[in-house]
Chains A and B, each alone.
Chain A
Amino acid sequence: MEQVAVLAARAEREAAGRLAVDKRMTAEVATALIRDGDHVAIGGTLYSRTPMALVFALLRQRRRHLTVSRPLACYEIELFLSTGALDRVVTSWVGIGLPWGLAPIFRHYVERGEASYDEWSHLAMGLRYKAGAMGVPFLPSLTMLGSDLARTLDLQTVTCPYTGQQLAAVPALNPDVALIHAHRADMFGNVQVDGYRHMDADVAKAARKVIVSAERIVSPEEIAAQPAQTMLPHFAVDAVVAAPHGAYPHECYGLYGPDLEHFDAYVSAAKENGPAAGLRYVEENVDAHADFAGFVAAAGPDRLAALAAEARELMPR
């Protein structure tokens, strides 16, 4: 069980200050905030709005003994495992997506006991982040009761003081660092997202440090023109990174679809060669480029244009 430290996380936020300053930096500088052994929460879910530019910058640094949490985890988990960066994953589901079957590299590490998987229900992950975001040590819920998930995680129950009802006491999670990808942000860290928001607002507010990458860095005036689209205020964000196509090869709502051919190639290599394929993927797609923009450029303009057209076709008219 994660140590619940919601008051410590609050004290850090109180002390950190709320400087409304230019927080723009490169992905490499921003992810240098992350230390060996940290708990890193990755925003988005599965292959949607994954902060891939930030994930790649972190992969490049070859940190050790990380814990990674996510609502639903995709193959980024396998890349951290293959490079020896990850000890533990905290999530409700690990896979690549239905057509690709089980995640082979994840299986390799977890079945050998070389990495651990704390499996929560999907709502429990949401409530863990939400409790962390609310500054309370747990939230009561009807999820996970009676299951072996609860038994394995030693999830405690709580009795309602008003009614006597028995409820799961889902513990708060305050990650050390949250990585979030958004559609727009200004230099101060006011962050806007279009479409579904996954668990990102709670993931960010729960975290001790928040790094946001954005498709576009916009003016404060552009933020203020659509204030209802703002998901996070500047004082909840510590670093802002410009990252066009920053979720590629995953999707970004309204802008580009997922690059399923890229997934196909990754999965067939992973099935054949296991962790060696994961390491090779990082060497070829992360290490071989000077920055994330180089990786995106390697996909080629035709591929990117097709993914953008696919997104446009699915938008409301």
Chain B
Amino acid sequence: MSGVTAEELMAITASRLLADHKVVFAGVGMPLLASAVARRTRAPHLTIVLEGGIIGASLLPGKLPISTNEMRAAYGAQMLTDITDIFLYAQRGYFDYGFLGAAQVDMYGNINTSVIGSVERPRVRLPGSGGANDIISLCNEVLIVTQHEPRRFVPRVDFITSPGYLSGGDSRARAGLVCGKIGAVVTDLALLDFEPVSRRMRLRGLQAGVTVGQVRAQTGFDLLVGEEIEELRPPSAEELAIYRELRDGSATADTEGPVVAEPADAGDRVPAGPA
């Protein structure tokens, strides 16, 4: 679809995975924008939680928080508490979805946002986990959203900041991570999930006009391909209009929906933890 950015495509695709009457733990940037679009479309009773102690975020279009710990993120909230309390709600099982970006993700859904190179002498020291490790360890289902590039989709991450299915099979549960699952990976090319036995990443859907070969070429490991591949609907005009209004603002303030846009990663910009 012409005129749609990779970021818009990913956020809108991800928004369709969020069901109504659920609770989503979102970071700023694309996850929050995707959650906001969901609330404005098919999930009006979706509750957005931010790790800065904010429950029921209801943000101002065009006034996007760039941190989960700031007044723009707290606008219109139902509850303000402390940070540890928020994560303990996740550990208790209240949060249906967790939403993460990734500098690197591997075939088992492990995420690295800590170091490129070795941890002792990193080539690039990234910001770190923030709440990402907690989100993937504690939320009921985790959605990963990232651009589809070989440098991101690596066979093995340099460092497991946030554990997906570790080395596959039942290794996640054996490590003591008895809760939660990695539900989906949403990219600008595809929708992926994890094969239930091996826990390897599997192609499930293609963005409009994308081929299996293109996805494989942008994936740095051998990707499983599901038996039935769905073609994902392109963003509708309505979804795009809602997304852009949330990101850019409108003439009238509207408290119905949340917000936030993170520009597509470039250069040394790295998807931060949900800071």
Are A196 and B81 also in contact (CB < 8 A) when A98-B262, A152-B119 are? yes
Among B174-182, B208-216, B238-246, the stretch that binds chain A is B174-182
Binds B, one of A45-53, A175-183, A207-215: A45-53
Closest to A49 in B: B69
The distance in angstroms between the C-alpha atoms of A142 and B93, with both chains bound, is 12
Once the chains are docked, how many angstroms separate the CA of A185 from the CA of B120? Answer: 43
B29 lies within 8 A of chain A by Cβ: yes
| B178 with A142: CB separation less than 8 A | yes
B235 within 8 A of A: no
Residues of B within 8 A of A (CB-CB), count: 67
CB distance from A310 to the nearest CB of B (A): 8
What is the CB-to-nearest-CB distance from B31 to chain A, in angstroms, rounded to a whole number?
12
Stretch at the interface among B185-193, B225-233, B266-274: B266-274
A107 proximal to B (CB < 8 A) = yes
Whether A127 lies near B80 (C-beta < 8 A) is: no
A250 to B77, CA, bound (A): 21
A48 closest partner in B (C-beta)? B69
CB neighbours of A113 from chain B (8 A): 120-121
Are A123 and B131 touching (Cβ within 8 A)? yes
Within 8 A of B (CB), among A113-149: 113, 117, 119-124, 126-127, 129-130, 141-149
Inter-chain contacts of A157 with B (CB < 8 A): 176
- Is residue A7 within 8 Å, beta carbon to beta carbon, of the partner chain? no
Within 8 A of B (CB), among A300-317: 310-311, 314-316
Residue A165 lies at the interface, judged by CB distance under 8 Å to chain B: yes
Question: Would A102 and B176 be within 8 Å (CB), given that A126-B84, A149-B161 are in contact?
Answer: no
Partner of A46, one of B53, B69, B76: B69
Given the contacts A72-B275, A122-B134, A146 and B269 also touching, CB distance less than 8 Å: no
Do B177 and A142 touch (CB < 8 A)?
A: yes
Number of A-B contacts (CB under 8 A): 210
Contacts of A195 in B (CB 8 A): 71, 74, 80
User: Is B122 on the interface with A (CB-CB < 8 A)?
Assistant: yes
Q: How far is the CB of B128 from chain A (nearest CB, A)?
A: 5
- Would A146 and B177 count as touching, CB distance under 8 A? yes
> A46-B275, A143-B133, A147-B161 known; A107 and B124 CB under 8 Å?
yes
- Asked whether, in the complex, the Cβ of A147 is within 8 Å of the Cβ of B162, the reply is yes
Inter-chain CA distance A45–B51, complex, in Å, is: 11
Binds B, one of A12-20, A86-94, A238-246, A282-290: A86-94
Q: Does A95 contact B (CB under 8 A)?
A: yes
The verdict on A253 contacting B71 (CB below 8 Å), with A71-B83, A91-B128, A122-B51 known, is yes
- Check A117–B159 contact: CB distance below 8 A: no
- Given contacts A98-B272, A111-B124, A130-B84, whether A45 and B52 have CB atoms under 8 Å apart is yes
Asked whether B270 lies within 8 Å of A101 as measured between CB atoms, the reply is yes
Majority DSSP secondary structure for residues of B touching A: loop
For residue B72, CB closer than 8 A to chain A, the reply is yes
- B196 at interface, CB cutoff 8 A: no
Q: Are B81 and A93 in contact (CB under 8 A)?
A: no
Please report which residues of chain A, range 178-227, place their CB below 8 angstroms from some CB of chain B when the two chains form the complex: 195-202
Chain A residues closer than 8 Å to B262, beta-carbon distance: 98
Task: Check if B129 sits within 8 Å of A119, measured CB to CB.
Answer: yes
- Give the residue of B53, B126, B172, B175 whose beta carbon is less than 8 angstroms from that of A196: B53
Chain A residues in 8 Å Cβ range of B81:
196-197
Q: Spell out A's residues near B (CB within 8 Å).
A: 45-48, 71-72, 91-95, 97-99, 101-103, 106-107, 110-111, 113, 117, 119-124, 126-127, 129-130, 141-149, 152, 157, 165-168, 195-202, 251, 253-254, 257-258, 310-311, 314-316
Q: What 8 A-B pairs come out closest when comparing CB atoms? A: A146-B175, A126-B84, A196-B53, A123-B87, A93-B130, A121-B133, A166-B176, A122-B131
Chain B residues in the interface with A (C-beta under 8 A): 28-29, 51-54, 60, 63, 66-67, 69-72, 74-76, 80-84, 87-88, 90-91, 114, 119-134, 137-138, 159-163, 166, 171-172, 175-179, 262-263, 267-270, 272-273, 275
Apart from A47-B69, A197-B53, what 14 extra A-B contacts exist at CB < 8 Å?
A45-B69, A46-B275, A72-B275, A92-B130, A94-B127, A95-B275, A106-B125, A124-B134, A126-B83, A149-B114, A196-B52, A198-B69, A251-B71, A258-B70
